Amino acid sequence: MLKPPSSSLHVAIVGAGVIGAMSAWRLARRGVRVTLFDRYAPAHDRGAAGGESRIFRIACKEGARHVPLVRESLAMWRELESEADQRLLYQTGVATVGAAHAPGMRAIRETAAEFGLRLEALDRAAASGRFPQFHLAPEEMMLFDPEGGALRADLAVLCAVERAAGLGASLRNYTSVDAVESFDDRVELRSGDTKETFSHVVMAPGGWASFDPALAVLPLVTRRISLGWFAPREPARYDIGHSIVLMHLFESGYFYMFPSMDGATVKGSCNIDGWPAIDAPQALPRSLPPGELAHLCDAAAAVAPGLRRDPVRIGVYMDAYTPDDEGLLGCVPGAKGSRTLVATGFSGHGFKFSPAIGEAVARLIVEGEAGPQVAHLDVARFQGMPASSTR
């Protein structure tokens, strides 16, 4: 069956986080008419995409299925930088520190070996000599991915939205989508008293996904992610021109930190035994419980002694998680027809390959196939599984 021309499509995207923004950009490049809805505005601080920076790495501890997506995304990150005339990706390198036998360290080495990735293994003495900002315990070593780095997260979302708008997309800030109704030949969205008709809808609500009635059939749980910004005693040692992204693996979790983006503070985050689920978006706290704050301060002091112990500010964000910590891409189960799609649930690690997800969304709508590199994200893998929710 012949596919309709791109010019005859009108796609609604619900959520202007990084997945929604990238989907809008890649669809608009194909001449598709796009309307992008967000209950706030792009790069707001109540979702999954805020917080200044995100890790970009090719040698992923999450597994080899991410490597093709990250490689595809690298070219698109550079393309977006060129179109927007903004620096978004700093390939400072990403170091992972831990005991050599730790599962995460083994996973990184296995991924690098499978794809022939550049990866340097440094013992404690070599790592400390090369990166004296960081402390390694006697039993620890470092794996250094020279192609990794830091993404400017807020700016990346804004640039993708602005490029989509420059190609004809419409943005509806501060507009909530209250209902989605699917038909064989169209999708209707209701916002307040207004009802609009589209050829397709892409549900990309990020951390709001598990609270959206249109996605209630999916096994999604929203979890909060806590970040802290620390003031270094010698800022030049940690700035974006001299430092790297560091991931430090512990038995019960991990701590990661970024080079300074503002010349004054360094962002860090500590995940011990998993991020807590939240009951509602309004329950997203603006501060940390004392025990969690202590974990963050202790980890920062142990890993980077050059930082002042207490954070100068805290940020709390949220993302939607699936049972296997992989995202969802495909038709929403139970929706009539095949025009209501979901692209969400990337479980805290989808930012680095978000351009490839946006491209897959565009292929799915325009060409009818998302591509083999995203087959593991098929929503159908959870068929028959009870929906998970904190509600």
Averaged over 97-104, what is the pLDDT?
A: 95
pLDDT at 261: 94
pLDDT greater than 50 at residue 381? yes
Q: What is the rounded CA–CA span in Å between residue 152 and residue 50?
A: 10
Structure confidence at residue 5 as a pLDDT band (50, 70, 90): low
- CATH code at 18? 3.50.50.60
pLDDT at 386: 65
Residue of 51, 229, 238 lying closest to 152 (CA atoms): 51
Please check whether residue 162 lies inside any domain of the structure: yes
Residues 332, 299: one domain?
no
CA atoms within 13 A on the CB side of 41: 3
Residues 378, 231: one domain?
no
Structure confidence at residue 388 as a pLDDT band (50, 70, 90): low
Averaged over 221-235, what is the pLDDT?
A: 97
Please check whether residue 58 lies inside any domain of the structure: no
Q: Which residues, at least 6 apart from 113, have a Cβ–Cβ distance to it below 8 Å?
A: none
pLDDT greater than 80 at residue 385? no
Please check whether residue 55 lies inside any domain of the structure: no
pLDDT at 281: 86
pLDDT at 341: 98
Q: What is the rounded CA–CA span in Å between residue 66 and residue 20?
A: 19
Residues 134, 231: one domain?
yes
pLDDT at 282: 84
- Please identify which residue in the block is written with the tokens 């020279």: 146
Which secondary structure element, helix H or strand E, spans residue 163, and what is its range?
A: helix 153-166
Strands 340-344 and 200-203: parallel
Residue of 210, 215, 204 lying closest to 24 (CA atoms): 204
Residues 141, 239: one domain?
yes
pLDDT at 231: 98
Domain boundaries, position 302: 102-147+222-321
Structure confidence at residue 153 as a pLDDT band (50, 70, 90): very high
Supply the mean pLDDT for the chain: 94
Please check whether residue 239 lies inside any domain of the structure: yes
pLDDT tens-digit map of 164-221: 999 999 999 999 999 999 999 999 999 999 999 999 999 999 999 999 999 999 999 9
Residues 314, 346: one domain?
no
Residues 31, 173: one domain?
yes
pLDDT greater than 80 at residue 389? no
Residues 118, 226: one domain?
yes
pLDDT greater than 50 at residue 391? no
Q: What is the rounded CA–CA span in Å between residue 363 and residue 367?
A: 5
pLDDT tens-digit map of 259-317: 999 999 999 999 999 999 999 988 888 899 999 999 999 999 999 999 999 999 999 99
pLDDT at 390: 42
Whole-model pTM: value is 0.95
Please check whether residue 176 lies inside any domain of the structure: yes
Which secondary structure element, helix H or strand E, spans residue 366, and what is its range?
A: helix 354-366
Averaged over 144-171, what is the pLDDT?
A: 98
Q: Which two tokens stand for residue 84?
A: 């927007």
Please check whether residue 84 lies inside any domain of the structure: no
- Quick one: three-class SS letters along 43-55? CCCCCCCCCCEEE
Residues 179, 317: one domain?
no
Residue predicted with more confidence, 131 or 64 = 131
- Please identify which residue in the block is written with the tokens 């930088």: 81
How many domains would you assign to the chain?
2
Residues 142, 247: one domain?
yes
Which secondary structure element, helix H or strand E, spans residue 268, and what is its range?
A: strand 266-272
